[in-house]
Amino acid sequence: MHKETELKLRTSRETLAALREHPLLKKRNKSGWQTRELLNQYFDTPERELSAARVALRLRRDGDAVIQTLKCRGQSVAGLSERNEYEWPLDKAKLDLKKLDDSCWPAQLASLDKKTIKPLFTTDFTREYAEIAWGRGKSKVVIEAALDQGFVVAGKRKEAICELELELREGDPQALLELAAELAASLPLMPCDISKAERGYRLLEPDSYDLGLPATELDAEMAVDDAYAALAWQLLGSSQRLAEQYRHNGHWRLLQDWVECLGELRALTASLGQAAPRAATRDLRGRLDALLEDWRPLVQAGNDDEDVRRAAPEQFAEELEDTRWGQFSLETSRWLLARTWTVERKGRGERQGKAQLTSWLAHLVGEEGRALKLPLYTQRPEDLAEQLPRIEQLLAWLHHARQVLDAPQMDRLYGDLKKLHELAEQPISDESLEARIEQARAVDQSRGWKHLLKA
């Protein structure tokens, strides 16, 4: 067994050609580009039990060699993935179930009848690969860069494979992000943790394909820094998966959710106060603001205009053909991995970052809730939109962490506050102003709100 650490980046044929000649890769290429044909057959049960357990089983033909591979549950966030991988050379291209014993087979699949495992789809592609030396000070780093082109085929459906894969052979995993970020400064590279195998399952069952990542589990006693990092990684990873899936099928709800992820990441980052000094978050906030400035108004317009919704997939494709999305994704991953917001803070900021989530969050909600001054907007509902940034910060934390607060009716409060946010975004009319007044009163009079404002 070995641990596979890699970064996948979706791209185009034109960009792959440019990568072959990229000065950075040319300078650090220690082996020269080599080519191999990789023919892969993936297996699962009819009920997709391996996929449900996040296990991938394949046979790969690499020239004359046949290799059986089992990839087990690992972690994959924002394009950077780590998984345990088992490999066995075989004499012929036939699955050897005897290799799948207790030394590698996941305990959760112990009762599975392995005889029900059948071939499902193929991922056949040409790989051009080279060994890249990437020094980090005195530390040696070796990365295999692979340019993959081919197809995923499931029955009569198929999808093109066109990606750069960076796999760590030796050294610090941060080097993968550093190399990718430098390449993405001039080429459109889209971090994507949707694997080739996952694309095969998507082709098999496009209507039931599960896009979501496991929910972030927050504990009342965890530090604010840890809670923010967990949520930020979740939102970044989700935004990348949403971008990939919207590019794939153009379903409007996915674009709405993509913008919501970016908005929540912006709100959470802005809410940290001295725990994340403004200088440390300036670049992240600027990148998020640029994306939201373009896409939030488009989504708001598209909610009521079918022509806008029809045109949006083409506009989104243009976004992905630019370097902005890839740069944002990779630089944010580097920022989170290094926990840059913690590096230069002192005193009160350090204490806030290490504070227990439950006490810090109760204080934040109480402080921001009092500053919101909801009774004022029952008299001046036309001005409620000026409080949208504050409402968004409250909503982001209540969305993901309301379970750590010792206050009544948190689910109801979250729903009421979300409705108030929706009303604040709507154009002003006699009807919407009246609705704002009623909803501001509903929030202000709720038991959870009154409890938190006293905190």
Question: Residues 187-232: pLDDT tens digits?
Answer: 999 998 788 998 999 999 887 666 667 778 899 999 999 999 999 9
What's the pLDDT at 134?
A: 83
Q: φ and ψ at 390, to 5 degrees?
A: -65, -45
Q: Which of 177, 210, 243 corresponds to the end of one domain?
A: 210
Residue appearing with tokens 């153009």: 250
Give kind and range of the element (H or E) at residue 155. none
| Residue 246 identity (one-letter amino acid) | Y
Q: Look at 448 and 209; give whichever has higher pLDDT.
A: 448
Q: Is residue 436 a part of any domain in this protein? A: yes
Which 3 state secondary structure label does DSSP give 408?
Answer: coil
Please answer whether residues 12 and 188 qualify as being in contact, where contact means their C-beta atoms are separated by less than 8 angstroms. yes
Mean pLDDT of the chain: 93
What's the pLDDT at 188?
A: 96
What's the pLDDT at 120?
A: 96
What's the pLDDT at 210?
A: 65
Q: Is residue 31 a part of any domain in this protein? A: yes
Is the predicted pLDDT of residue 294 greater than 80, yes or no? Answer: yes
What's the pLDDT at 173?
A: 85
Range of the domain at 419: 356-453
**382-403 confidence digits (pLDDT tens):** 999 999 999 999 999 999 999 9
- Once rounded to an integer, what is the mean pLDDT over residues 66-83? 74
What's the pLDDT at 84?
A: 82
Q: Which of 210, 239, 273 corresponds to the end of one domain?
A: 210
Residues of the chain with pLDDT > 90, as a percent, come to: 84
Determine the Cα–Cα distance for residues 195 and 201; give it in Å rounded to an integer: 10
Q: Is residue 124 a part of any domain in this protein? A: yes
Q: Hey, which residues does 356 pair with through a beta bridge? A: 223
Give kind and range of the element (H or E) at residue 102. none
User: Of 398, 410, 400, whose CA–CA distance to 365 is shortest?
Assistant: 398
**134-151 confidence digits (pLDDT tens):** 877 778 899 999 999 999
pTM of the model: 0.92
DSSP string for 350-402: HHHHHSBHHHHHHHHHHHHHHHH-HHHHHH-GGGGGGGHHHHHHHHHHHHHHG
Four-residue CA torsion sign, 426, 429, 431, 435? positive
What's the pLDDT at 347?
A: 93
Please answer whether residues 268 and 393 qualify as being in contact, where contact means their C-beta atoms are separated by less than 8 angstroms. yes
Please answer whether residues 296 and 340 qualify as being in contact, where contact means their C-beta atoms are separated by less than 8 angstroms. no
Q: φ and ψ at 68, to 5 degrees?
A: -95, 130
Residue appearing with tokens 């590698």: 104
Q: How far, CA to CA in Å, does 362 sit from each of 108, 162, 215, 374, 397?
A: 39, 47, 22, 18, 10
Q: Look at 357 and 77; give whichever has higher pLDDT.
A: 357
Determine the Cα–Cα distance for residues 331 and 230; give it in Å rounded to an integer: 17
Query: 326: pLDDT confidence band, cut at 50, 70 and 90?
Result: very high
Determine the Cα–Cα distance for residues 91 and 244; give it in Å rounded to an integer: 38
**304-320 confidence digits (pLDDT tens):** 999 999 999 999 999 99
Determine the Cα–Cα distance for residues 37 and 318; give it in Å rounded to an integer: 31
Q: Is residue 309 a part of any domain in this protein? A: no
Please answer whether residues 374 and 384 qualify as being in contact, where contact means their C-beta atoms are separated by less than 8 angstroms. no
Give kind and range of the element (H or E) at residue 93. none
Report the length, in residues, of the chain. 455
Query: 336: pLDDT confidence band, cut at 50, 70 and 90?
Result: very high
Give kind and range of the element (H or E) at residue 68. strand 65-71
Is the predicted pLDDT of residue 40 greater than 90, yes or no? Answer: yes
Q: How far, CA to CA in Å, does 145 sit from each of 83, 274, 304, 317?
A: 18, 40, 45, 25
Q: Is residue 236 a part of any domain in this protein? A: no
Residue appearing with tokens 């840059």: 340
Query: 85: pLDDT confidence band, cut at 50, 70 and 90?
Result: confident
- Once rounded to an integer, what is the mean pLDDT over residues 426-430? 93
Which 3 state secondary structure label does DSSP give 129?
Answer: strand
The alpha helices in 192-223, defined as continuous H runs, are: 196-204
Q: Which of 176, 210, 244 corresponds to the end of one domain?
A: 210
Number of domain units in the chain: 2
Cβ within 8 Å of residue 133, ≥6 positions away: 28, 30, 140, 141, 142
Q: Which two tokens stand for residue 233?
A: 């990684």
Q: How far, CA to CA in Å, does 80 sit from each of 142, 215, 359?
A: 16, 18, 33
Determine the Cα–Cα distance for residues 339 and 226; give it in Å rounded to an integer: 10
Please answer whether residues 53 and 197 qualify as being in contact, where contact means their C-beta atoms are separated by less than 8 angstroms. no
Q: Is residue 91 a part of any domain in this protein? A: yes
Is the predicted pLDDT of residue 172 greater than 80, yes or no? Answer: yes
What's the pLDDT at 193?
A: 78
Q: Is residue 71 a part of any domain in this protein? A: yes
Within 10 Å of residue 215's Cβ, how many Cβ atoms? 8
What's the pLDDT at 77?
A: 56
What's the pLDDT at 49?
A: 94
User: Of 269, 448, 444, whose CA–CA distance to 362 is shortest?
Assistant: 448
**408-425 confidence digits (pLDDT tens):** 999 999 999 999 999 999
DSSP state of 75: E
Q: Which two tokens stand for residue 280?
A: 């440390």
CATH number at residue 198: 2.40.320.10
Residue appearing with tokens 């000065």: 23
Q: Is residue 105 a part of any domain in this protein? A: yes
DSSP state of 250: -
